[in-house]
Amino acid sequence: MASLSSLNSPSNISHTTALSTMKSILFIGGTGYIGGPILSRFIERDNSNLNLTALIRSPEKADKLRKLNLRGLNVVIGSHHDATLVERLVSEADVVFSMADCDDLQAARSILRGVKRRFEVTHVKPILIHMARTGCLGDGAQGAFSSETMYSDLDIAQIETLPVTQPHRNVDLAIVEADSQGYTHRYIVLPGLVFGTPHGILAREGVQNPTNLALTALIRASFTRGAAGMRGDAKNIIAVADVTEVADLVEILYDSVIANKTEIGHGSNGYYFVSSADVLFENLVEVIESRAGKRRAFTQEELDLYFPNLPSLQGFFGDNGRADSARSRALGWKPVKATEEFLLALRDEVEHWQL
């Protein structure tokens, strides 16, 4: 029989009880290309029971947001490199959306310390929804071949074969560990290459990043050198997802967690791939070369010139990274924008490109 003290211990306090008192949500990276539509949704939905806080690094964006005088939104200026600030803000939140930089282990550690502090005070497990990417699936193909390997977010054994040396995997594993230590419920969302025009109040008001900086950097490099850029023969296959449909998944995931659906995977079961299609990198190159110039593989010197200090992005352009979003779809996520929409969006960007 359980002792009285064990019945009262934090681990026995039900998740339902915890969520019924939930009020505060913290957004880190809410002005980003991906984070903007997500923060917008929480501003635009019925948020009367929610106290929203956004950590914004840019004083100009913070000022614009404050001037909008949005109900329920508290704007804090600061960097996620400010460990004390991040730890405090997180320790005051029931839910944290971490969407700034999935490669930043120090920032993730600050978030995890804050989450732990919150748990120690409330004895309720805060919810951490962390934005990562399918970069961790990369196979080092350097554009030389198309892989048959398809990772599934339901196949945890397969995901666990990914070594800690894969892009952002060290951060993902630190977050998984926090879940297994029992002081947070964490969910990792992993989109493929994200495309499309963001919608929502932050996009309308010009507060968020309007384009995918990685894709923009590839297009810019291609125009600058007068040749569509690629790794090797561009035979690698990547996962893609529309930016609005990424926000759809995040909102579905949040609502499912709040509704306390018991089947929602978290911790080592909490990976959610966001991929609506696989695209051969060569198809992407075809679109870019139609205006930027005939394709030519990047040399390492060019990669370092155009994408300095970004080894994981350099690798991503040549990696296979195919992702089956089975767990995400099982939650009810139904993406409709696939290869055709991705290539159309890319064509539109390339056609309007001004160097």
Ligand X SMILES: NC(=O)c1ccc[n+]([C@@H]2O[C@H](COP(=O)([O-])OP(=O)(O)OC[C@H]3O[C@@H](n4cnc5c(N)ncnc54)[C@H](OP(=O)(O)O)[C@@H]3O)[C@@H](O)[C@H]2O)c1
- Contact set with ligand X (CB under 6 A): 29, 31-35, 55, 57-58, 61, 79-81, 99-102, 131, 133, 191, 193-194, 209, 212-214
Complex with ligand X: residue 18 or 176, whichever CB lies closer:
176
Complex with ligand X: residue 125 or 166, whichever CB lies closer:
166
Whole-number Å distance between alpha carbons of 28 and 88: 13
Q: Output the smallest distance, CB 201 to ligand X, in A.
A: 15
Q: Which helix (H) or strand (E) holds 350?
A: helix 339-351
Contact between residue 133 and residue 102 where contact means Cβ atoms under 8 Å apart: yes
> Among 35, 96, 309, 316, which residue's Cα sits nearest to residue 192?
316
Complex with ligand X: residue 131 or 203, whichever CB lies closer:
131
Q: Output the smallest distance, CB 55 to ligand X, in A.
A: 6
Q: Output the smallest distance, CB 54 to ligand X, in A.
A: 9
The number of angstroms, rounded, from the C-alpha of 355 to the middle of its chain's C-alpha atoms is 29
Complex with ligand X: residue 193 or 292, whichever CB lies closer:
193
Whole-number Å distance between alpha carbons of 332 and 268: 21
> Among 272, 51, 52, which residue's Cα sits nearest to residue 175?
272
The number of angstroms, rounded, from the C-alpha of 222 to the middle of its chain's C-alpha atoms is 26
Nearest residue to the partner ligand X, using Cβ = 32
> 182's torsion region: left (phi>0), alpha (psi -120 to 50) or beta?
left
Complex with ligand X: residue 131 or 141, whichever CB lies closer:
131
Q: Output the smallest distance, CB 151 to ligand X, in A.
A: 14
Q: Transcribe 208-247 into DSSP letters.
A: S--S-HHHHHHHHHHHHHTS-EESTT---EEEEEEHHHHH
Complex with ligand X: residue 18 or 56, whichever CB lies closer:
56
Q: Output the smallest distance, CB 50 to ligand X, in A.
A: 20
